[in-house]
């Protein structure tokens, strides 16, 4: 065994584990490295032979061109993901509260039906979904896309909140009832303040899924209202692909989810450990 400076043994196996994890992390980050260096190169330096090489001079031309094409769609994604995440979190919280603390005849059957929604493939409901949105006048619009993501996100958000609320002692609710609080007042005064970790888990989960989703975005909206992931696909030209622009656009599109994980990552882990996704 190796020894630390203060004399306690440091197992060699731990160094091997750290070395292996460092190697795997570096291997995992290789595509990010290629994206980063390619996005900072002028187009003349972009080639397969020079893929691993650092740029001779840093150029932000790729970012400027990518942003000029992605900017309207980037803000479309912002207008989509914020209300869709908030609504699905709020409705999932209410559903989870009812299913965990205010059970009624048939509640387990209804909850099972909710969960079944998570396993329905997008492709199987695409045509009736388009027909439905056309009938209610929300096809080819951001509000229609918000509705779709809220409804499709309800099963997983309901499950997360139900499992989280199941761990909250019933005595807290009984105390609120004794004080005269009804269903909604108990929810607002007792459950919501206790469920911040679950809200963080749901917010990170929904934000990431909605921001990165492609199928609904490309089929339910017109080019003018398409989110950024669809516009990113359209950055590649039909004849010549400007890889510096493509890589810069990919990094721009990935930046919001990266920031969400950097800001909320530790709270996300705490929410998971608090039992919000336990079975």
Residue 210 — very low, low, confident or very high, per pLDDT cuts 50/70/90?
Answer: very high
Least reliable range by pLDDT among 33-37, 85-89, 114-118: 114-118
The DSSP string of 75-124 is HHHHHHHHHHHHHHHHHHHHHHHHHHHS--TTHHHHHHHHHHGGGS-GGG
pTM: 0.84
Q: How far is CA 264 from the centre of its chain?
A: 12
DSSP SS3 for 9 = strand
Q: What is the mean pLDDT of the chain?
A: 86
For residues 217 and 144, is the Cβ–Cβ distance under 8 A? no
For residue range 216-275, list pLDDT tens digits in order.
999 998 888 899 999 998 887 656 778 889 999 999 999 999 999 888 877 777 766 665
SS3 2: strand
pLDDT at 3: 52
Region 121-137: mean pLDDT is 90
Ranges of beta strands (E only) in 139-253 are none
């Amino acid at each position: 065994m190796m020894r630390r400076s203060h004399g306690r043994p440091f197992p060699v196996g731990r160094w091997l584990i750290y070395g292996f994890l460092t190697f795997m992390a570096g291997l995992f980050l290789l595509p990010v490295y290629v994206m980063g260096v390619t996005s900072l190169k002028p187009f003349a330096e972009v080639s397969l032979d020079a893929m691993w090489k650092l740029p001779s001079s840093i150029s932000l031309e790729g970012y400027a061109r990518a942003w000029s094409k992605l900017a309207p769609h980037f803000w479309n994604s912002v207008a989509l993901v914020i209300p869709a995440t908030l609504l699905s979190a709020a409705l999932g919280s209410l559903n989870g509260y009812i299913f965990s603390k205010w059970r009624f005849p048939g509640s387990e059957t209804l909850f099972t039906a909710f969960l079944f929604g998570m396993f329905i493939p997008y492709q199987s409901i695409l045509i009736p979904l388009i027909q439905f949105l056309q009938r209610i006048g929300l096809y080819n619009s951001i509000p229609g896309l918000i509705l779709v993501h809220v409804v499709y996100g309800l099963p997983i958000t309901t499950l997360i909140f139900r499992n989280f609320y199941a761990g909250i002692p019933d005595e807290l609710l009984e105390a609120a009832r004794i004080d005269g609080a009804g269903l909604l007042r108990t929810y607002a005064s007792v459950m919501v303040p206790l469920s911040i970790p679950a809200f963080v888990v749901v917010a990170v989960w929904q934000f990431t899924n909605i921001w990165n989703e492609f199928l609904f975005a490309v089929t339910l909206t017109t080019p003018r209202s398409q989110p950024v992931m669809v516009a990113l696909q359209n950055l590649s030209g039909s004849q010549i692909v400007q890889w510096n622009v493509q890589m810069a656009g990919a990094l721009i599109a990935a930046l919001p989810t990266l920031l969400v994980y950097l800001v909320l990552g530790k709270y996300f882990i705490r929410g998971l450990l608090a039992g919000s996704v336990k079975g």
